Structure 1
Amino acid sequence: MTITRLLARPMLATIFVAGGINALRNTEGHAAKAKKVTDKVVPAAQKAAPQLPIPTDPATLVRVNAGAQILAAAALATGRAPRLSATVLAASLVPTTVAGHAFWNETDPQAKNAQRLQFYKNTSIMGGLLLAAVDTEGRPGLAWRARRAAADVRREAKHVAKEARREAQLAKAQLT
């Protein structure tokens, strides 16, 4: 593991641990902001996956999001499942950004500018997380492994078919 990865992951994870703890401490304030987003997203999620028990209470969703951020950040910082944890963090950042930094709804120019800056900061962090999500550390990724396994199966199937044809020809020659 390079020194960059050794330092970058914990640095990237820090904001999510702090943000998750803040959301747990101030759940009601976060839930009030999140309600605008959850009122639209929850019905769509329930329609898309009716078999899943999706909570409808914004405070519960804030807690779930905070917990996911803290757990995924800890995993990313310690290098456990870094691609999965980076993906979870990127996904959790979307509702946080849309609900918490809706600069397009601000009327005060200073508040609008501050929210826009936070929105762009979160977008930048998301870019870093997406890079971390696809970083294979020089090891083959899952897609490569799947393609390789499929090629191995095809090669083995050709070999078995060739052997079967040869055996069939030998058996035919022995019968005649």
Structure 2
Amino acid sequence: MTVTRMLARPMLASVFVVGGVSALKNAEAHAVAARPVTDKVVPLAQKAMPQLPIPTDATTLVRINAAAQILAGAALATGRAPRLSASVLAATLLPTTAARHRFWEESDPTAKADQRVHFAKNLSMLGGLLLAGVDTDGKPGLAWRARRAAKDAKREGRQLAKAARNEAKLAKAHLS
């Protein structure tokens, strides 16, 4: 792991651990803000995945989201499954942002500006998490390996075709 990754991952993860702990401590207050989002998302999730027991209580969903942020944040900070943990954090950031930073609903210009800044901050963190989610730490990823295998197979196929043509020419010359 490079020094940059060793420093950047805990820095990126810190806001999620702190925010997750705060949400666990104040789950009821966070649930009030989350309710407009959960009331819309839960029925869609239940319809899309009827076999899963999806909680409907906003407080429970806030606690689940907070626990996911704490666990994934700790994993990212320590470098354990960094791509997976960054992806989990990105997934938890979406409902958090939609619930807590609804600047489009604010009527007070100062509050609206403040919420817009927080929304943009979360959007930038989402970008960092997406980058962390695809960071292979200098090692080839699955997509690169697949492209490389296809390229190698194509090159080998051309070489085999050339060898077969040469063998055919030799066989023809031998028969003549």
Q: Output the amino acid matched with 1:141.
A: G
Unmatched 5+ stretches in structure 2: 161-176
Output the amino acid matched with 2:68. Answer: A
In structure 1, C-alpha distance between the alignment counterparts of 2:51 and 2:153, rounded to whole Å: 36
Hey, what's the Cα distance between the residues in 1 that align with 2:55 and 2:146? Answer: 35
Q: CA deviation at 1:142?
A: 2.6
Q: Please give the alpha-carbon distance, in whole angstroms, between the structure 1 residues aligned to 2:129 and 2:56.
A: 28
TM-score after normalising by structure 2 = 0.83
Distance 1:75 1:110, change over 3 A: same
- Structure 2 distance, partners of 1:152, 1:50, is 44
Partner in structure 2 of residue 20 of structure 1 = 20
Can you give the 5+ residue segments of structure 1 that lack an aligned partner in the other structure?
160-176
AA matched with 2:99? A
Match of 1:97 in 2: 97
Whichever residue aligns with residue 132 of structure 2, its letter is A
Structure 2 residue 30 is matched with structure 1 residue 54 = no
Q: TM-score, normalised by structure 1?
A: 0.83
Cα distance between partner residues in 1 of 2:95 and 2:75: 21
Mean Cα displacement is larger for which, 135-144 or 13-22? 135-144
Where 1:50 maps in the other structure, the secondary structure is coil
1:107 is aligned to 107
Matches within 5 A, 1:1-176: 1-146=1-146
**Cα distance in structure 2, aligned partners of 1:92 and 1:135:** 19
In the aligned structure 1, how far is the partner of 2:82 from the partner of 2:150? 26
Structure-2 separation of matches of 1:57 and 1:13: 27
Q: 1:136 and 1:37, CA in 2 relative to 1: closer, same or farther beyond 3 A?
A: same
Q: Percent identity?
A: 71
**Residues 138-173 of structure 1, C-alpha deviation per residue, up to 9 Å, x if partnerless?**
112133345567889998xxx9xxxxxxxxxxxxxx
Comparing 117-126 with 145-154, greater Cα deviation is found at 145-154
Cα–Cα, structure 1 residues 57 and 139, in superposed 2: closer, same or farther, change >3 Å?
same
Pairwise CA RMSD: 1.9
